[in-house]
Amino acid sequence: MEVKLIKGDITKENVDAIVNAANHTLLGGGGVDGAIHKAAGPKLLAACKEVIKRIGSCPTGEAVLTEGYELPASYVIHTVGPVWHGGDKQETSSLASCYFKSLDLAASKGLTSIAFPNISTGVYGFPKELAAEVATYTVKQWIEETAYDSTLKEIHFVCFDDENYKWYEQKMVEQNLI
Ligand code: ADP
């Protein structure tokens, strides 16, 4: 398994699936979600509406898959991160679930590569150091538990801002991921 740390825009990632930090409605918003919808084109929103028609809403910590349309990535995995409420509302386990379920979903589709943004660290207000720790720890756990019989060979952490990049660098070293 190759785990890479990347500084930049996730919409440019040439992987099988990029992960979107979505909300319950999958109806599009700002931040990384806005960038992904803009780059993927209007078919992505139509596909999200179809998913919502089927499931009602996407709960926190869950993940659903659509095609990637105009993106270089073939698929988008939409996951709903937790809003930070101070830390006693199961925020860390919900965030871990986003990473775990996105990886499970990618593996269940036979995908070989996936790129994650820094889920919940924008408008959802999750502290960046803790989010980086949860993300790297969870991915490490998933690799140890699941990767041996998985198609998945490459996992990218894509950081848009310097602060996230710095924390990821530190946490990935601590987790022996780089
Ligand atoms: P959330 O609501 O889950 O907090 P945001 O989109 O507000 O989602 O922010 C999540 C993270 O995505 C933030 O760290 C932000 O810097 C980052 N981000 C914003 N645009 C992009 C992009 N084009 N590529 C990768 N990451 C991005």
**pLDDT tens track for 27-56:** 978 999 999 999 999 999 999 999 999 999
Q: Which domain holds residue 70?
A: 2-174
**pLDDT tens track for 5-18:** 999 999 999 999 99
Is the CB of 158 inside a 6 Å radius of any atom of ligand 1? yes
Q: Percent of the chain at pLDDT above 90?
A: 97
Q: Is 0.95 topped by the overall pTM?
A: yes
Task: Give CA–CA dist 19/120, Å, rounded.
Answer: 12
Kindly report the protein residue whose alpha carbon is nearest to atom 15 of ligand 1.
122
Question: 83 C-alpha vs ligand 1 centroid, how far in Å?
Answer: 13
Is the CB of 79 inside a 6 Å radius of any atom of ligand 1? no
Is the CB of 116 inside a 6 Å radius of any atom of ligand 1? no
CATH label of the domain that carries residue 96? 3.40.220.10
Best residue among 160, 161, 164 to mutate for probing ligand 1, ranked by most atoms within 8 Å of CB: 160
Question: 148 C-alpha vs ligand 1 centroid, how far in Å?
Answer: 30
33 labelled catalytic: yes
Residue 51's pLDDT is 98
Residue 152's pLDDT is 97
Task: Give CA–CA dist 5/53, Å, rounded.
Answer: 36
Total tally of structural domains belonging to the chain: 1
Predicted confidence band of residue 110 (pLDDT cuts 50, 70, 90): very high
Predicted confidence band of residue 117 (pLDDT cuts 50, 70, 90): very high
